[in-house]
Amino acid sequence: MNKKILVTGGLGYIGSHTVVALQQSGYEVVIIDDLSNSELFVLDRISEITGIQPDFHPIDLKETEAVNDFFETAKIDGVIHFAAHKAVGESVEKPLMYFRNNILGLVNVLEAMKKNSIDNFIFSSSCTVYGQADKMPIDENAPIKKAESPYAKTKQMGEEILEDFVSAYDKNVISLRYFNPVGAHPSALIGELPKGIPNNLVPFVTQTAAGIREQLSVFGDDYPTRDGTAIRDYIYVCDLADAHVKALNRLLEKKNSEPLEVFNLGTGVGSTVLEVIKTFEKVNGLNLNYRIVGRRAGDITEAFADNRKAARELGWEPKTSLDESMRTAWEWQKTL
């Protein structure tokens, strides 16, 4: 009997790629998504890739009754929770919207799990919880620093809530701290769909290359790095999706060594903004229109992962190069 997994935010960027990976690993998947930052056509694209149409419920997780009604009948074996607002800048302008959506949504799911005796939960977290870490690469024991944005706070608060959730109700949780997810599925049927002006680097790069944006602004070249631009760890979205399947397997097989485990998911390699641009231009044979401007408020200089714990415990290794990520990102952009 296939295990049935709820993926909240399953029509979103990382969510949709994870649904594909789960289905291809033999899991039955049901999606909850409120379509606030995703499109319904992604459901058909998932089916086109895997041949399996996931069950879909357009539920807003802030609607407590709707969440409870769903869980009472759904018979779920585990939950992977992506559903959250994730725009750093927007969270600074609208903190209460972020706390309501990201925290109330999370608590509603956790309460429904408790009521329905569902024990396994995977949380979509972020390296942003580390702020500017003191040493590179960043491992899971790096101190959690004061959050730079309400968005980052909701990730830190989410993990703190989960600490009490696992001990009070005897649950098993894995929190996955992503570095910078990039790229698109090799089929070019699913990928990143930023609403409005992209906050993140790579969708802005691809939209500039597509002529949707006039010019990419590089936010600062006076950082203390090899070329002056900031360093991040750009992890291919399908490798990230695979890590979620491995984490779920670990919980369902009861191989976790403690009730709450945390894993950094990155390549372990840092790339500067200019290196991302050069890689994109090289692999796609394009010239990108960009200029250097001032730093963006809240940005940190450098972050890249020590991913050895995920390799050791999850048996997970990123397999995809930045070149390939940039190629898939462009292939996907050309379909839009």
CB of 91 to ligand WQD, least distance (A): 10
Window 95-154: residues binding ligand WQD (CB under 6 A): 126, 128
Specify the residue, 142 or 216, whose C-beta has the smaller distance to ligand WQD: 216
Token code pair at residue 278: 């050069």
Residue tagged active-site, from 13, 98, 130, 151:
151
Specify the residue, 54 or 266, whose C-beta has the smaller distance to ligand WQD: 266
CB of 3 to ligand WQD, least distance (A): 28
Q: Which of these segments, 26-34, 216-224, 262-270, 320-328, binds ligand WQD (CB under 6 A)?
A: 216-224
From candidates 59, 61, 118, 201, binder to ligand WQD by CB under 6 A: 201
Nearest to 106 by CA among 162, 152, 41: 162
Contact 37, 83 (CB under 8 A): no
Q: Which of these segments, 28-36, 188-196, 212-220, 312-320, binds ligand WQD (CB under 6 A)?
A: 212-220
299 binds ligand WQD (CB under 6 A): yes
273 binds ligand WQD (CB under 6 A): yes
From candidates 88, 184, 209, 265, binder to ligand WQD by CB under 6 A: 88
Amino acid identity, position 38 = S
Specify the residue, 172 or 271, whose C-beta has the smaller distance to ligand WQD: 271
Window 231-270: residues binding ligand WQD (CB under 6 A): 232
CB of 163 to ligand WQD, least distance (A): 20
Window 13-72: residues binding ligand WQD (CB under 6 A): none
Told to judge if 151 belongs to the known catalytic residues of this protein, a careful annotator would answer: yes
Task: Give the contacts of 212 (CB within 8 A, at least 6 positions apart).
Answer: none
Window 151-190: residues binding ligand WQD (CB under 6 A): 180
CB of 218 to ligand WQD, least distance (A): 4
CB of 199 to ligand WQD, least distance (A): 5
Specify the residue, 75 or 197, whose C-beta has the smaller distance to ligand WQD: 197
- Rounded to 10 degrees, the C-alpha dihedral 85/88/90/92 comes to 120
CB of 98 to ligand WQD, least distance (A): 12
Count of chain residues binding ligand WQD (CB under 6 A): 18
Q: Residue 180 forms beta bridges with which residues?
A: 234
Q: How far is CA 116 from CA 68, 78, 171, 228, in A?
A: 9, 11, 12, 52
Residues known to be catalytic: 151
For ligand WQD, the binding residues (CB under 6 A) are 86, 88, 126, 128, 180, 199-201, 204, 216-219, 230, 232, 273, 296, 299
